[in-house]
Structures are given as structure tokens and as C-alpha cells.
Amino acid sequence: MEHEPQIQPNFVADTHVPLELYERQDLLVGQIAAEVARDITEGRLLPGADLNSVELASRFNTSRTPIREALMLLEKEGLVEILPRRRPRVAHISLAEIAELYDIRAVLNGFMIRKFIENASGEDLDEMDAILAKLRTEAARRDVPSFLATRTALHNFWVDRCGNSSLQRLLRSWKMRMSVTRLGGDVSREFDRILLDNERLAIACREHDSALGVALITSMTHFGEHMIRQQQTARRETGMMP
């Protein structure tokens, strides 16, 4: 017999996961969806991995009903596939779809950084520099998890201060679906390139150079796509992906 759902006290909002998942009226469903989304976006659950509702119910100390509702929510976000008479699984994204989505994401990121440069205050730029300084430290240490978290925090900072709430919601949802970590991109060999790109973009923001900022973030977005394509091609060649 299914037991009553229990609210878990230790959910922590993740930088990849839109706050809308945490702020749902049904708090438990939103929390479960956010935690599973974090496992997917951080690469602990790879594309094609089965999502067993019984195991998830045990993990979250609840019944299968909120688990099913949470997985349906993630299906709408493009993270989960729910097919008839089959167990839900982490969604696959084809290389062709990755290319299409990253073309759109590059345009959205370009618009976002243009708005940030238009709206950023001196305090915003100082805060940006502080995050960038932390990114330099983690790059020097070759600390992959911390480097990834701070790189995400820097991008989220630009999004949060761009002054366009509709764009913010759209980019958060897309970032969750299209994160480099979720799709298998390997950043461990690209510390210096990623750091340099972010430093150059920060300088463009400081100098209020919108044209350069748009060009840089467009290039950075497509470099993320390149890393994903390389890793997914390698996985297919070794039989790790269909």
C-alpha cells in the first residue's frame, strides 16, 4: 500500500533548475522534479537512463503519485520521455536537434548580453568581476565541479541582471535542457579556453561594447555545442549511446 507523501527538508535550489519547479503550489512535486532535473543536468542520469518510479518513491519517501506528476512535469521541460507501456527515461537529444537548439540559444544569449550591457550598474559590474575572480581561482586549481558551478553562476548572473523577465524564464528552461554537463560535454580539457572567453566577455561588458559582447557569447555558445557533439560522437562510436 502506498504511504502518504512526506515533504523533504533538504532540497537545495540548483543553478541549472528554473525556480518555477521549486515554487509550484504542490511543493513536493516541484521539489522532486527539481532534484531529478539536477541529477539529469549534472550528468548523474544520462540520456536513455530508466527512471523507476518505485525506486524514486523510496528515495523521496513518498508514494508513486507525486513521482509520476514530477516526471510528467519534466517531460514538458524536455528532460524526460514517457512512452506507452514503457518505463519513463531520460530524454535523448539527437545531434541534429542539438544543432538547431544551439542556433536558437546563441541568438537568445546574444540578446541577453546586449540587455545586460545596457542595464548593468557599476555595482553589477563589480559583482561580475568578483565571480570571475573566483572562476580564475578554480581554473588554476583544475577543480572541475567548482569551476562548472561558478561558470554557471556567472552566466546566471548575466541572465538575472539583463532586465527582461520573459527572457530570463526562457533561458533558465533552455539551460536546464541543454546544459553541457547533461549532454556529455567534457570541460576538463578546456579550462583555459573557457576562462579566457569569459574574461573577454567581462571586458566587453565593462567597456559597454554590445557588438563585441554579442559576438563573444555567440562564439561561446557554439563552442559548448562543439564539446557536446564531440563527446556524443565518441559515445556512439564506443556503443555507450544508440
Of 16-25, 165-174, 232-241, least confident by mean pLDDT is: 16-25
Of 38-47, 144-153, 169-178, 195-204, least confident by mean pLDDT is: 169-178
Backbone angles phi, psi at 25, to 5 degrees: -60, -40
The model's pLDDT over 66-90, given as tens digits with 9 standing for 90+, comes to: 999 999 989 988 889 999 989 999 9
Whether this model's pTM surpasses 0.85: no
Q: Which of 101, 111, 72 is nearest to 177 (CA)?
A: 101
Which segment, 46-50, 69-73, 229-233, is predicted with the most confidence on average? 69-73
- Residues contacting 59, CB < 8 A, separation 6+: none
State the pLDDT at residue 25: 45
C-alpha distances out from residue 87 to 13, 80, 164, Å = 27, 11, 38
Residue 15, pLDDT > 60, answer no
- Quick one: cell of 220? 561561446
Domain boundaries, the chain: 19-90, 95-237
Q: Which CATH number is 19-90's, of 1.10.10.10, 1.10.3720.10, 3.30.700.30, 3.20.20.70?
A: 1.10.10.10
Query: Chain-centre distance of CA 221, in angstroms?
Result: 13
- Could you tell me where the beta strands, DSSP code E, fall in 88-217? 89-90
The reply to whether 95-237 shares the fold of 19-90 is no
Topology of the domain covering 95-237: Four Helix Bundle (Hemerythrin (Met), subunit A) (1.20.120)
- Quick one: cell of 4? 502518504
Burial level of 9, CB count in 10 A (0-12/13-18/19+)?
exposed
State the pLDDT at residue 137: 96
User: Looking at per-residue confidence, does 15 or 7 come out higher?
Assistant: 15
Residue 31, pLDDT > 60, answer yes
The neighbouring-strand residues paired with 81 are 89
- Say if CB 66 and CB 26 are below 8 A apart: yes
The overall average pLDDT reported for the chain is 83
The model's pLDDT over 111-145, given as tens digits with 9 standing for 90+, comes to: 999 999 999 999 999 999 999 999 999 999 998 88
State the pLDDT at residue 57: 95
Stretch 138-158: mean pLDDT: 91
The neighbouring-strand residues paired with 90 are 80
State the pLDDT at residue 197: 97
Residue 206, pLDDT > 90, answer yes
